[in-house]
Chain A
Amino acid sequence: MSEKIYACLLRLFPSHFREAYGDEALQLFRDRARDEKGFFQQVGLWLDLLADLAVSVPRQYRDVRPALADAAVQQRLGSAPAFFVLVDESPGPEALIFGCVLSMIALSTFSILLGHGGNHRPLSASGYQRGYATDSRPSAMAHATGQVPADAEDVTMSASRMELNEAMPSESQSTALLPPDSSPRPEALPPQLLDAAERKRLMNAVIDNLKQHYIDPQVARKMADALLAHNKNGDDDAVTDGRAFADLLTRQMREVSQDMHLEVVYSQSPLPHLLTEPSPEDLARYRKELEQDNCTFKRVEILPNNIGYLKLNTFPNPSMCQATARAAMASLNHADAIIFDLRDNRGGEPAMTALMAAYLFDHPEYWYNPRENTTEQSWTLSPVPANKLADKPVYVLTSARTFSGAEQFCYDLKMLKRATLVGEKTGGAAHAGVFHRIDDHFGIGIPETKTINPFSKTDWAETGVEPDVKVKAADALETAKKLAESKLQRK
């Protein structure tokens, strides 16, 4: 038995050593085991052997290195990459099969990730079209940021197609809010191939927009130079596909600015010209829709064990829904814990997320919002008078459909360690810039705000917010209830 154990341990040595001396080492072990009988001698023998292994195994491997290092020096002279074979023997069939299986797994994982990543590409043409239609309505973002698009060609852009409905209570309502004359989208045209002149024209349009609108004129100039240089060097020459060209320009801009909010957008179907400001009738209808929908506060109730439960499907405009929000929070004021159900929340107004979050703190907290300049208003208005929720456990239910403003709520509470997120990773829709139309097929999204993210270099854009407790969205409520109950029992 002990010989078998030692034979196994011998496998720790490199194969060249085992081949040369494995049998003899085993023989020596047998000799010693035979001669050194008795409990203490056996223990001594094993201590010897283990100490010996600890010393000599690393030495055997280390001794290979000087040879490699020498070889490396010689080979590197050619400044070409060098490869070395560490073991002389050829790999056995198991190793080859294992290698095959591993490569297949790696390859398929890679292709799955590639496909998955494609789904998160910001602002795909179709997504943009819908977002555009929605955002051009009561221009909720403009309300939120206090910015009204400077000209009719500009529309506040949600930089991910995931954000389509965020300003609207729901998809159906957003459709209802479309103007009566909203004609069906123009038919998609076959993609046109770009020639050199066309590429140059588009690049110049991008440069003009950057110089005119980008927050940092110096960086804008650098980006313009880089785009021109790339064009001159022929880096753009091979690209004739509109989407590929938009992606290429985006990459070139980001290389210089490191600003992931910047992007050139291609749409195969023609981009509509922006409509004018929403009419008072549109706004009135929007308000009425919200009222009828209780400002998307779907459920506000006290669950068993005095756990407050609030299901909210957007973060609506506070100017219309502040009273509803405050009433909802007040009705939960005596709860011992609170669960925010954002599994169907498509986002909305950053101001509303801050208003709700104010209830969760007893002092002003920095409320990170990637869409606004950092100002005094970036802090929550805590404490809220008569509020008792500031020190209560908070759970936020998330799903892959939790978007945008709802993700801001999740992200900030998570970063402030104020809530436990339960559910799925969120959608990953964060940024907004101002969209500038270049022509029927091209546009550029340019952030015009400068924001401080105190938590991290990146936020949830495109990656989503990771839950603290990962469960299926359907199970999130039950899980959160159990978590809350056990937490309250421990108190």
Chain B
Amino acid sequence: MPKRKLDPLPSAAFQILLALADEDRHGYGIMRQVAEQTESRMRLGPGTLYSSIQTLLEAKLIEEVGQREDAKLGQERRRYYRLTSGGRKLARSEAERLADLLRVARAKKILKGDYV
């Protein structure tokens, strides 16, 4: 079932994979990172965020790495998530797919520039 939900990869799930690419994050951290990397165009609400996390966990694309406090956010313990190698692979192939798409778009002169 998770496979079906992730094919095609929803953009929220892709953004979460990207957000976890450089470090482990908790839910709110992921949300903020996604907002940052999309210049606030995508703000994941709790429902979308956690259902995506759930799906990614089931597909073993991310994993939980235990609970700890985030010093910047107070005493509360938070669940942290980490990208698995499978997740990293999927994120890369999705990025490549998008890059291919971009190349086509440029060839068709829909996008200008040639740096991809």
Please, which residues of chain A bring their CB within 8 A of the CB of B79?
24
Give the CA-CA distance A31 to B32 in the complex, in Å.
10
- Pair A28/B46 contact, Cβ less than 8 Å: yes
- Pair A53/B1 contact, Cβ less than 8 Å: no
Q: In the complex, how many residue pairs between chain A and chain B have their CB atoms under 8 Å apart?
A: 66
Q: With A13-B47, A56-B47, A57-B47 known to touch, is A66 a contact of B4 (CB < 8 Å)?
A: yes
Please, which residues of chain B bring their CB within 8 A of the CB of A28?
27-28, 31, 46, 49
The distance from the CB of B8 to the nearest CB of chain A, in whole angstroms, is 15
User: Which residues of chain A from 53 to 69 have a CB within 8 Å of any chain B CB?
Assistant: 53, 55-57, 59-60, 63, 66-67
- Pair A31/B51 contact, Cβ less than 8 Å: no
Nearest residue (CB) in B for A24 is B27
- Interface residues contributed by chain A, number (CB under 8 Å): 26
- Pair A56/B31 contact, Cβ less than 8 Å: no
- Pair B73/A56 contact, Cβ less than 8 Å: no
B45 at the interface (CB under 8 A from A): yes
- Interface residues contributed by chain B, number (CB under 8 Å): 21
The distance from the CB of A302 to the nearest CB of chain B, in whole angstroms, is 70
A20 at the interface (CB under 8 A from B): yes
- Pair B51/A51 contact, Cβ less than 8 Å: no
Give the CA-CA distance A31 to B49 in the complex, in Å.
14
A29 at the interface (CB under 8 A from B): yes
The distance from the CB of B107 to the nearest CB of chain A, in whole angstroms, is 34
- A2-14 to B contact mask, C-beta < 8 Å, 1/0: 0000000010010
The distance from the CB of B19 to the nearest CB of chain A, in whole angstroms, is 14
A48 at the interface (CB under 8 A from B): yes
Q: A21-B53, A24-B27, A63-B5 are in contact. List 16 more A-B contacts (CB 8 A).
A: A21-B46, A21-B50, A25-B49, A27-B28, A28-B28, A28-B31, A28-B49, A32-B31, A48-B45, A52-B44, A52-B47, A53-B47, A55-B45, A56-B48, A56-B51, A66-B4
The contact sample of 15 A-B pairs, CB cut-off 8 A, is A17-B51, A17-B54, A21-B50, A25-B49, A25-B50, A27-B76, A55-B47, A56-B45, A56-B47, A56-B51, A60-B47, A60-B51, A63-B51, A66-B4, A67-B1
